[in-house]
Amino acid sequence: MAGDSKFPENFLWGTATSATQVEGHVVNEWTDYVAADGGNCRVACDHYHRYAEDVDWMTRLGVNAYRMGIEWSRLQAAPFAPLNRTELDRYVHLLDCLKAVGITPMVVLHHFSNPPWITSAGGWLNPSAVPAFVDYVTKLVSALKDRVYLWNTFNEPDTYASLTYLLGGFPPFHKWRFASYRKVIRHMAEAHAQAGRVIQRDSGGVKTPEVGIAKNWTSFGAFQTFALWDHFLAAISHHAFNRFVLNEFLGGRRRDASTFLGVNYYGRARLNHFQALVPTNGVSTERLKQLGITCDDMFERHPAGFARLLKRFHRSYGLPIYITEHGAASTDEDFRIRDLMAHLHELRAAMDGGVDVRGFFYWSLLDNFEWQFGYSKKFGLLSVDFSDDKLPRKMTRVGEFYRNVCTTRTMDQGAPPGGRPPSPSVCRRV
Ligand code: BGC
């Protein structure tokens, strides 16, 4: 049966985090933000101090790749400034820890946060963000080119631009500013084009450099077949969040700036009388259940759309694909395991159908700071007890399931327990 064969030997099985969500001790536009549950990102998972322990955990998970953020605000104190040596050394050390245990890093350069001097100059509405970002990337690539070959410039530019200027969810919390949304996307697309060329030119250390964005994919539809107005709104949403964004980043000559396409896939949003039927829109789980809609704590799940989407991207762009994020937020671990299994089967089917997918990064390594929702969403392969100052990590059953997948390259449950043995702690910081 399609979907039961082994994944390729060189497939990257990874997990992902972002700096603001796990590191703690960041100074960016999120520092003073208080989330719906009263939480803030000031300490988060304290990955900033505990990355060596977290790398140990990654070896226990059996992953061979880690998609990680590098926080721009730590490294540049002003536009065009030299990189901060101490902070850079810390990231270098983390990369060396990963290397010592055979884990390939994918570095994300922008994940929903900016240095304060970018924010105070108007953020990505100001075209001067473009040369500033390209300068930062040029310096960072030159510093890390021997350690990193996989670069992800922007994480979900569509999510970032819509939550900052359309939906009011992210700082600076503006609503319905369509012109600003488009401007931010255009500036980020230009920054990606220029940074992508720099990466391809300068990052030739060990392996051929690879660069791409991570596109969030939500498919929009009408819940009721004959609700024309909902179909209309779905078509507009699809245009604004998917087509427009992909055209800006990958249309025409811009395509040459990317060597891969990253795909973040969580599910879909169906509209009913202009209302998206998803938990993040305040629709109760009971109501969604009554309507027969399967959700995690955030979105409707739609595994069947996953293989279709991958085939479509393959046809449209012909670029290799990394699944840069997929995961589910729930305290029901059986649900999360079923969700993961269903999506991996779809992934396998797409690959069997000829789609060149090179890796899968589970979101997330740790329960973490989920932006507006604080610590209430449980995405981790490792759970984190935020009520305990020591922030203890614990393997979840989803983590165990994923370890079996990573170590056997199949979805079989007969996999050996234990995964790879924990590494010797070669990367303890002195
Ligand atoms: C983002 C992550 C976020 C995850 C779950 C993605 O859109 O890149 O930062 O935590 O979804 O909501």
* Token code pair at residue 130: 């473009």
Q: Which atom of ligand 1 lies at the shortest distance from residue 266's CA?
A: 11
Ligand 1 lined by 339 (C-beta under 6 Å): no
In terms of C-beta density within 10 A (0-12 exposed, 13-18 middle, 19 or more buried), how is residue 325 classed? buried
Report the atom number in ligand 1 closest to the C-alpha of 379: 5
Nearest atom within ligand 1 for CA of residue 155: 8
Residue 412's pLDDT is what?
A: 78
pTM of the model: 0.96
Q: Is 156 in the pocket of ligand 1 (CB under 6 A)?
A: yes
Number of H helices, E strands in the chain: 14, 11
For ligand 1, the distance from its centroid to the CA atom of residue 165, given in whole angstroms, is 18
Q: What is the pLDDT of residue 425?
A: 52
State which ligand 1 atom lies nearest to the alpha carbon of 216.
7
20 C-beta closer than 6 A to ligand 1: no
Ligand 1: distance of its center to the CA of 325 in Å? Answer: 8
Reading the block at residue 409, the tokens are 């390259």
Q: How many other C-beta atoms lie within 10 A of the C-beta of residue 204?
A: 14
Instruction: Please work out whether the CB of residue 200 comes within 6 Å of at least one atom of ligand 1.
Output: no
- Compute, in angstroms, the gap from residue 370 CA to the centroid of ligand 1: 7
Q: Which atom of ligand 1 is nearest to the CA of 112?
A: 9
Cα of 264 to ligand 1 centre, how many Å? 8
Which ligand 1 atom is at minimum distance from the Cα of 363?
4
Residues with catalytic roles: 156
State whether the beta carbon of 322 lies less than 6 angstroms from ligand 1.
no
Binding site membership of 155 for ligand 1 (Cβ less than 6 Å): yes
- Would the CB of 367 count as within 6 Å of ligand 1? no
The per-residue pLDDT for 407 is 96
Q: What is the pLDDT of residue 203?
A: 79
Q: Is 325 in the pocket of ligand 1 (CB under 6 A)?
A: yes
Predicted local distance difference test score (pLDDT) of residue 423: 45
Give the closest residue (by CA) to ligand 1 atom 3: 370
Cβ(324) to ligand 1 under 6 A? no
- Residue 245 Cα to ligand 1 midpoint, Å, equals 18
Residues 6 or more apart in contact with residue 362 via CB below 8 angstroms: 14, 15, 16, 326, 327, 340, 381, 402
What is the C-alpha separation between 430 and 426, in angstroms, rounded?
A: 11
Q: How far apart, in whole angstroms, are the C-alpha atoms of residue 163 and residue 171?
A: 8
Q: How far apart are CA 25 and CA 23, in angstroms?
A: 7
The CA 421 to ligand 1 mean position distance, Å, reads 30
Q: For residue 158, how far is its CA from the centre of ligand 1 (angstroms)?
A: 12
Helix H segments across 174-302?
A: 178-202, 228-238, 244-250, 285-290
* pLDDT of res. 63: 98
> How far is residue 171's CA from residue 173's CA, in Å, rounded to a whole number?
5
Whether 18 is in the pocket of ligand 1, judged by its Cβ within 6 Å, is: yes
Of the candidates 62, 70, 105, which has an alpha carbon nearest to the alpha carbon of residue 90? Answer: 70
Closest residue by Cα to atom 12, ligand 1, is 370
| Contact present, 355 and 318 (Cβ < 8 Å) | no
Task: Report the separation in Å between the CA atom of 159 and the middle of ligand 1, taken as the mean of its atom positions.
Answer: 9
Q: Does ligand 1 lie within 6 Å of residue 159's CB atom?
A: yes
Would you write out the chain's pLDDT as a tens digit for each of its 430 residues?
444 579 999 999 999 999 999 999 999 999 999 999 999 999 999 999 999 999 999 999 999 999 999 999 999 999 999 999 999 999 999 999 999 999 999 999 999 999 999 999 999 999 999 999 999 999 999 999 999 999 999 999 999 999 999 999 999 999 999 999 999 999 999 999 999 999 999 977 779 999 999 999 999 999 999 999 999 999 999 999 999 999 999 999 999 999 999 999 999 999 999 999 999 999 999 999 999 999 999 999 999 999 999 999 999 999 999 999 999 999 999 999 999 999 999 999 999 999 999 999 999 999 999 999 999 999 999 999 999 999 999 999 999 999 999 999 998 764 444 444 444 455 654 3
Ligand 1 pocket test target in 113, 268, 370 with most atoms within 8 Å of CB: 370
